[in-house]
Each structure stands twice: as C-alpha cells, then as structure tokens.
Structure 1
Amino acid sequence: MLLPTSTLFEIPDFKLELGAALDPVVLAYETYGTLNAAADNAILLCHGYTSNPHAAGDTAGWWHNLIGPGRAMDTERYFVVCSNMIGSAFGSTGPASIDPATGAPFGPNFPDITTRDMVRAQGLLLDHLGIGQLAAVVGFSYGGYLTFQWGVSDPERMRALVPVATWNRSRGGPESVAEIEDYFAQCPGWNGGDYYDGEPGGGVVAMLAKQRVETLRGYGVDRALLDQLGSEEAATAALEKRGRDWSAQFDANALIVLRKAAVLFNAWDNAANIKAPLLYVLSNTDKRFPAGELAEPTMTHLKASGVDAAYVEIDSPYGHLAPTEDWQKWAPALKNFLEGR
C-alpha cells in the first residue's frame, strides 16, 4: 500500500540478478532535508523487513527521534532518503503489484530477487535524485543487510556505513522460508498465494495479524508498550491493534519474497571490499541479532578484513526494538560518527 507521504520513481526493464526482469520497477521513497549544491550530503536510510519508507516528518515515522533538525541525522545538514525496498508492500514493486502480462497481482509468481537487486534499484533512485557520493548508508534490521550489501557492492559510493541490529550474513536458511509458506498454507483462503480476491477482513489477513503480534512480542514491543501504558491489558490491546493495522497494509507473499532474498544474503565473505568507516550497533537484549553471539566475531572479522569498524552496544530491556525505543542511548554516538565523515 502506497503511503500518502511517499513519492514514486519508475525504472523501466529492470534486469534481476537471478535472470528474470521487471518492467517496470517502481520505488516508493521519502526524503527529509535538502540536497546541497555539491550533492554529497545525502544519507540513504534502509528500513526493516516489514517496515516502510516513512521514517520521519511526524511521530508516525519509525525513526523520527533520530531524524530532524539538530538530531543525530540532522536535516539541517543532511538530505535523508528512505526508499521502500523492492519486493515489499509499501508502494514499491512487489508480489501484490499488478503483473503487466496478466493484469492480476504477481502473487506467488513474483520472481526471486536478491539484496543486490534492492541495492542496485536504490542506486538508480539516487542517480535520479542527483545524488553523488553518500554521506552514509544507515540501515536497521533487514535494512542493515542492505547497508552491508552497499558496502561490499559499491564501496566508493558512501563515506560511512551504519548497520544497526543486524548482521553481515543471513540468520536462517531455506527452512525459514518453508516455515512462512507452511504457516499460510493452513489458511483455506491462501490458494497457493493467490489470495487477493479473498475476504479482506479474514483468512490470510487475520493470519497476518496473528503472526505480526507474535513477531512484535519477539522484538520487545510488548515490553515497550507495557512501560508506556502501565498495564498488561492496555499493552495487549495496543499490540493487537498494531497487528491488525499492519496486516491491512502488508502482503503475505512479500514476507516470502524478502525472506528468500535474506537467505541468499552474504556480505561476510567479501567484507574486504568495504572501504568506508563502519559503526556496528547491537542491543544487549536483542534475540534476533544477539550481541553476545555476534559482536565479537563480527568485529574481529571486519577488522581482520581491513575495515575501519567501531562498535556500540545499547544497554536496553527492549530487545530488537532498542535502537528505536532507547534511541537516546546511541544517538550521540551516531551523530558523532556521522559528523566525523
């Protein structure tokens, strides 16, 4: 679903890495701040697996506390660009988009894509916007995959990299794709993924909402809502509302397409390609990307590969959501890192 705050950019005859093509590819994107005369003050921001390009501009923006005048990504200094990745469901070309060849949604017939495809499409958007070298690429969660991918695929395009709550290779193999497919296959309205003509308020959408609630619990959102609202009942109600609201906008097939791309992702083996200084950020309570498991081997590998890498660990009870909920605990490090480039 295209957000009212987003703009569209169209790429004709976009060839995909695995052999197929999309004609056209559309990217939905948002910008904050102003591109300078030298066209070198842009920050490319990459969103998470199930998120969207609305990162700032109001309190609905998922990182609004980090983007704006005087904030870590200072819009009086930087031009921040956030695009919805291809394969997603917030305006960019994905499985719910209409296939020009059939006049119906691609659905399960959407071609397999890779993180390199996503990065290449973003690069064409940057060219369209007149952006030269980026001040930085910053990405959260799945967006951190893209941040690492940028670093190894186009190492001269940026002066800094900030992957947040993420890793430089996939967490989970093909079985993680099968789990999603099996989950939705239980729904009578799934129809092999061609579910778009089904009842909007039930079936697949209801299962999406249920899955979303469990995902948010795993991210630490329930704890954050409890602290904000003060009671289990209010927190549960708010969590379930978030699940319903999101499921009305997202696409189950996008979960599969993006997960397939994540399984193929590997920026570990060619880490030596990275030229830009890198700030790696993890949360000490994140179950998705646990700092205790990932920080030491990742930093050791990056430095052994010749990467100028620094590390920040957020001490927070909010798990995967720590960079958002406890933004003030790492915003100074982010601001200082960016200003030094």
Structure 2
Amino acid sequence: MNQPTSRAPLSADPLPASGAWRPGDPIGDRRFAHLATDRAFVLEGGGALHDVEIAYETWGELDADGANAVLVCHALTGDSHAAGRAGPGHPTAGWWDALIGPGRPLDTDRWFVVCPNVLGGCQGSTGPASLDPATGAPYGSSFPVVTVRDMVRTQAALADQLGVTRWLSVIGGSMGGMQALEWGVMFPDRVASVVAIATTVAASAQQIALSSVQRSAIALDPAWRGGDYYDAGPGEGPHQGLAVARGMAQITYRTEGVYGERFGRKELDPLDDRYTLWQRFDVEGYLDYHGAKLVRRFDANSYLVINRAMDLHDIGRGRGGVESALARVRAPVMTMAIGSDALYPPYQQELICDTLGSIGRECVHVVIDSPDGHDAFLIETAQVGAALAPFLADVEKTR
C-alpha cells in the first residue's frame, strides 16, 4: 500500500493568501461605521489610525429612548456575524445563532442586539488587510498593535453613531468577555449590566505562553513574508503557519476526554507494516480540517494582532491594580465559568465575582456543566441562554 512520505496538503484546492473580507466582496448583513475621519484615532500602545471603519451587524429595533440595546462581543476568530445563515459575505453561520433572534434568550423582539467586528479584525473592520489611506496599499506589517481598550473605544464611538447612550448589557465570551469587563471599567455610566463568560481580568503566564507559540508558527512560515503577503496568489500565502496556530488553539479549546471519546486512536491513513512520519491519526485530520477552514475566512496578520491584544489584556494596568479597576464598575455583573475549561479555568471567573463582591459590587456566578472545555460557551447555548435570559429580564426591570 502506498503510504504518505510527506506532509499532506491542508486542502485539495489552493488556499487564499488571506481570508479577509475586502471591499467589493459581498457585503452580506454587514453595516459600516466610519470613525476618525477628522482626527487621528490614537492607540493606547502608541501609533494612530485614520479613517477607521468598524463592520457590525444588528438584529431587532432600537427603542425611541435607546435603552434596549445589547452589545455582543466576539472572541479571537469570531466576527460580526453572530446570528444568521451562511451565505454571500458570510462563509459560516452565526456563531451564536441559537441565542440571538425572536423568542431566543437574546430576544430580538425585545432587544436591539449589536455585534461589531473588532478593530484589527479582518471581516470588514480596519485591520492589517485593510488599505492604508496614506499609501493605498494594505497595512500589512505597518499595522500597529491594538489593545482590548482600543477595541472598546471604537465600540463606544459606534454606540454614539447608533444613538445608544447606555447598553442594557454588554456580553461576551473569552476575548469577548475581556471587552465586556473593559466596558464596565471604562464606561461605567454606559452599561446597565455586564456578562463576562470564560474570561479573565488579565492574561495569565500560561495563556501568554500558548499565544506566543501560535504567533511564532505564523511568523516562521516563509510565506508570511514579514507580514506583507497580500499580493501572493492562491496557495502562496502563510496558510501553513496560520493553520498550525489554529491547531494549537483548537487543542486548548476542548478537553482530553472529548478528544478521546471522539477520536481515540482511530487512523486516517491506515498503518501497515511500513510506518512513515506522515501517516495521520484521525485527530490529526481534524486539526488539518479546522486549519484549512480558518484560512479561508481569516487573515494571518489579524490573528497576530488580536492574539497579542489578548496577551496585553489586564484591567488593572495603569489603574492601581485589579481591585481598584473593578471598583469602577457600577453595573451588576454575571460571570460564567465552564467547569471543564482548561484554557480559562473557572477560578479566573470566580476571582472576578469574588473581588466584585468584596468591594460591595453586585455579581452572580454561574457554572456551565459541560465536557467540552473552553468552546462550551459556543456549544452549550441552552445552558448559557438559561442563565442569560432571567439575568437580563431582571436588569430590564431595574434599568
């Protein structure tokens, strides 16, 4: 039997140099907010951007008083398409589709739900794949470092344009939870509640270490070309590095038990009496599949920028520490942990709630029972929704 003697290609078809959305591509359900058109948007870590665009989507109708708006913040490789079908402009269905819609926990018959693509992203918001207005070419390697606080400031400007003076709630998981916490600290008068799921007050050493090797996988791909690869043809971009980064992350998103039950030691390339380095187990094929899937809808430079923003996340930075920062929060907070989460362990969410309680702030803590690890905030939508719905109903009564 012929056996693999080299690494199997990620895809039978050439993968794009970048999966970023570009002007001229189908718009889908996106809308666009134009920011920093008359002055520079100065970034927390240095540098500035001009003519910033933030892509976003909305569901439901904003009340006349603007008081029924809910902001949903996405995680690392998410985007503004939190609900809705796959189709032109949207290669995948909404990542929280089961939660957003009429009669669902984020009930769009009652609430106006908004989800923006973060600054630095690649699905319509200004990021490394966007054209630099000063040069007319993609930013590429010249795109500056952004932070979660920078992302939140663009969302505040978007809220101004939408006529939202105060969110009924700001909700997010993982990196989305980082944004939700920053909203509570940065704009305490503009949020009536905060829901922080599977997240932390500051990236831990282990989280930073995991992120670092993911970024290195991209940077060590020769096709990354120092970040300036946007003129590369199909199959010539840094897809191998981005796919490896995704594979590393994918391992941390689930648990050993889930991998064992689903894949065990099943073989994708059968082992006979002659072993090679590249015969794959089924789990290896799974990682390859998810790597190729991400390459088709994401951008390697955006992965670097957003991933770094997560490492830089620390709500206590420049604020006298975590307790001092959380003392700024005035709104009730719900923290949500996943019992099996090894990437953002439950103690990190418990710390948020315990600290808020110790300084007299209102916080309720919920634990999601799931074997699926960190990804459970995207999978266990029934449990997430069962906690969200009554919490938001109580906030609505007292707003």
Normalized against structure 1, the TM-score is what? 0.91
Q: How many residues align?
A: 338
The one-letter code matched in structure 1 to 2:327 is A
Task: Give CA-to-partner distance per residue, 1:246-289, whole Å, 9 cap, x none.
Answer: 21221212222223322332225201000000000010111110
Q: Once the 2 structures are TM-superposed, how far is the Cα of residue 183 of structure 1 from its aligned partner? A: 1.7
The one-letter code matched in structure 2 to 1:281 is M
Residue 277 (1) aligns with residue 332 (2): yes
Q: Which has the larger displacement, 46-55 or 216-225? A: 216-225
1 CA distance for matches of 2:226 and 2:375? 33
Specify which of 123, 130, 146 is matched with residue 97 of structure 1.
130
Q: Relative contact order, CA 8 A, sep 6+: which one is greater?
A: 2
Q: Once the 2 structures are TM-superposed, how far is the Cα of residue 88 of structure 1 from its aligned partner? A: 1.2
The one-letter code matched in structure 1 to 2:249 is T
Tell me what 1:8 maps to. Answer: 32
Residue 216 (1) aligns with residue 227 (2): no
Q: Once the 2 structures are TM-superposed, how far is the Cα of residue 224 of structure 1 from its aligned partner? A: 8.8
RMSD value, Cα: 2.5
Specify which of 195, 198, 216 is matched with residue 232 of structure 2.
198
Matches within 5 A, 1:171-320: 171-172=204-205, 178-220=212-254, 223=258, 240-268=288-316, 269=322, 270-291=325-346, 293-320=347-374
2 CA distance for matches of 1:241 and 1:187? 19
Conserved? CA contact 2:32–2:56, under 8 Å: yes
Matches within 5 A, 1:80-119: 80-119=113-152
2 CA distance for matches of 1:174 and 1:329? 29
Q: Once the 2 structures are TM-superposed, how far is the Cα of residue 235 of structure 1 from its aligned partner? A: 7.8
2 CA distance for matches of 1:286 and 1:232? 27
Secondary structure of residue in 2 paired with 1:137: strand
Tell me what 2:9 maps to. Answer: none
- Note closer, same or farther for the CA distance 1:52–1:201 as it changes in structure 2 (3 Å cut): same
2 CA distance for matches of 1:5 and 1:216? 28
The one-letter code matched in structure 1 to 2:98 is N
The one-letter code matched in structure 2 to 1:193 is G
Q: Once the 2 structures are TM-superposed, how far is the Cα of residue 6 of structure 1 from its aligned partner? A: 1.2
Specify which of 53, 68, 72 is matched with residue 105 of structure 2.
72
Conserved? CA contact 2:255–2:371, under 8 Å: no
Residue 121 (1) aligns with residue 145 (2): no
Q: Where in structure 2 are there 5+ consecutive unaligned residues?
A: 1-19, 22-26, 87-92, 269-281, 317-321
Task: Give CA-to-partner distance per residue, 1:296-315, whole Å, 9 cap, x none.
Answer: 43322121233201100001
Secondary structure of residue in 2 paired with 1:63: coil
Q: Once the 2 structures are TM-superposed, how far is the Cα of residue 111 of structure 1 from its aligned partner? A: 1.3
Q: Where in structure 1 are there 5+ consecutive unaligned residues?
A: none
The one-letter code matched in structure 1 to 2:247 is V
- Note closer, same or farther for the CA distance 1:68–1:86 as it changes in structure 2 (3 Å cut): same
Secondary structure of residue in 1 paired with 2:189: coil
2 CA distance for matches of 1:242 and 1:174? 22
Normalized against structure 2, the TM-score is what? 0.78
Secondary structure of residue in 2 paired with 1:338: helix
Tell me what 1:167 maps to. Answer: 200
2 CA distance for matches of 1:239 and 1:7? 33
The one-letter code matched in structure 2 to 1:140 is G
2 CA distance for matches of 1:78 and 1:338? 10
- Note closer, same or farther for the CA distance 1:252–1:129 as it changes in structure 2 (3 Å cut): same
Specify which of 65, 68, 73 is matched with residue 41 of structure 1.
68
Task: Give CA-to-partner distance per residue, 1:48-71, whole Å, 9 cap, x none.
Answer: 011111011237111111111111
1 CA distance for matches of 2:183 and 2:370? 28
1 CA distance for matches of 2:59 and 2:259? 27
1 CA distance for matches of 2:287 and 2:185? 37
Conserved? CA contact 1:96–1:105, under 8 Å: yes
1 CA distance for matches of 2:212 and 2:310? 13
Specify which of 388, 395, 398 is matched with residue 334 of structure 1.
388
Q: Once the 2 structures are TM-superposed, how far is the Cα of residue 94 of structure 1 from its aligned partner? A: 0.7
Conserved? CA contact 2:217–2:242, under 8 Å: no
Matches within 5 A, 1:50-61: 50-58=77-85, 60-61=93-94
Q: Once the 2 structures are TM-superposed, how far is the Cα of residue 238 of structure 1 from its aligned partner? A: 6.1
Q: Which has the larger displacement, 175-184 or 204-213? A: 175-184
| Larger gyration radius, structure 1 or structure 2 | 2
Task: Give CA-to-partner distance per residue, 1:204-249, whole Å, 9 cap, x none.
Answer: 113212332332232129949976xxx9868876654332122122
Tell me what 1:141 maps to. Answer: 174
